[in-house]
Amino acid sequence: RSAEEMVSRIGEALDLGDPRWRDILVAQLIEKGHREAAEALVGDPSQLGDDTLVSLASAKLRTGAAADALALLARVPANSRAALTASWNRVLALALVGRVDEARQAFERDVAEQGEAPLVALYRGLTALWCGEPAVYTAVGDQLKVRNHLVEVLGTMLAADAMELLASTLPALDWLGWSPVEQAALLGQLYHHAGRADQAIEALAIAIDGGDREVETWQMLGLLLLRQGAAADAEALLAEAIRLEAEAGTLTEQSAARAGWLAALAMQGKQDEAEPRWQQLTGTAQRTARPPE
């Protein structure tokens, strides 16, 4: 069902005029990725609870609507239980709209003494980078969580088209142990998800030229080139993705690489070659993967 239909049916069973039910439903819609339906249900944001305001602001932030997020966050009182989460979001939103000095001040004033130590360490370095100053990062606590958060931040910057801010943030990838090849592959994925196909192709090609052997990298570049009509290049890349999947033991006939490879063959009028080529590809991969006796 569409999100609108779900809201309508839930509204028949519950009184969505009751702010408690409405806030619960808005939070669920945001969590499931239905931000527009949540906004339609909200109407007047002044009627929302603080937690729901922060959830809606965070959802807007992820789509790049930093100014809208700031307007919502301004409604959250400093003594609210949601104030710390609001402050984290405000730091990034201020940076996204170009107010990096204010972002740094907000971080030091509202977050640095209360936030989780691993993220505080990250943002202490990031805010220095954003202000054009030398930054030193000291790893604290769960670095996987920090890495995942940084990926989200970079994706948010792309959504907001904050390219200068993105460029100033990239040194943090070195802090967290991404190699140059891994950085190129990550940026390729982020550019792809942001709808920036040309930049994604460039970054993914750099990763592959640097020795990347991840299925996702070869597959994504092949599929992007296929969409641009470069069938021969796509065929070669997707064939290698198939080999890598076979070597890893994850290859199935439902593979996205296989579907794209078949489409690339068809675009070149070579669909009759598919079956023998498939057998050759998978057989070669299996022989390569077999340990020596």
Write out the chain's pLDDT in tens, 293 residues: 555 565 455 544 445 455 555 566 666 666 666 666 666 666 666 667 788 888 888 888 988 889 989 998 999 999 999 999 999 999 999 999 999 999 999 999 999 999 999 999 999 999 999 999 999 899 999 999 999 999 999 999 999 999 999 999 999 999 999 999 999 999 999 999 999 999 999 999 999 999 999 999 999 999 999 999 999 999 999 999 999 998 888 988 889 999 999 999 999 999 899 888 888 888 744 444 333 33
The rounded distance, in Å, linking the Cα atoms of 215 and 232 is 18
Q: Are 38 and 29 in contact (CB under 8 A)?
A: yes
CB atoms within 10 A of CB 234: 25
The rounded distance, in Å, linking the Cα atoms of 166 and 95 is 10
Q: Are 133 and 124 in contact (CB under 8 A)?
A: no
Query: Which of 254, 249, 259 is closest to 282 using CA atoms?
Result: 249
Secondary structure (3-state) at 74: coil
Handedness of CA 172, 66, 20, 4 (dihedral sign): negative
What's the maximum distance between 2 C-alpha atoms anywhere in the chain? 72
Whole-structure pTM value:
0.81
Return the pLDDT at 38.
Answer: 66
Return the pLDDT at 59.
Answer: 83
The rounded distance, in Å, linking the Cα atoms of 197 and 204 is 10
The rounded distance, in Å, linking the Cα atoms of 126 and 137 is 9
Torsion of CA 222, 228, 233, 239, to 10 degrees: 30
- What contacts 24+ positions apart, CB below 8 Å, involve 138-147? 139/175, 141/116, 141/117, 142/118, 143/118, 143/176, 143/177, 145/118, 145/119, 146/118, 146/119, 146/121, 146/122, 146/176, 147/176, 147/177
Return the pLDDT at 51.
Answer: 83
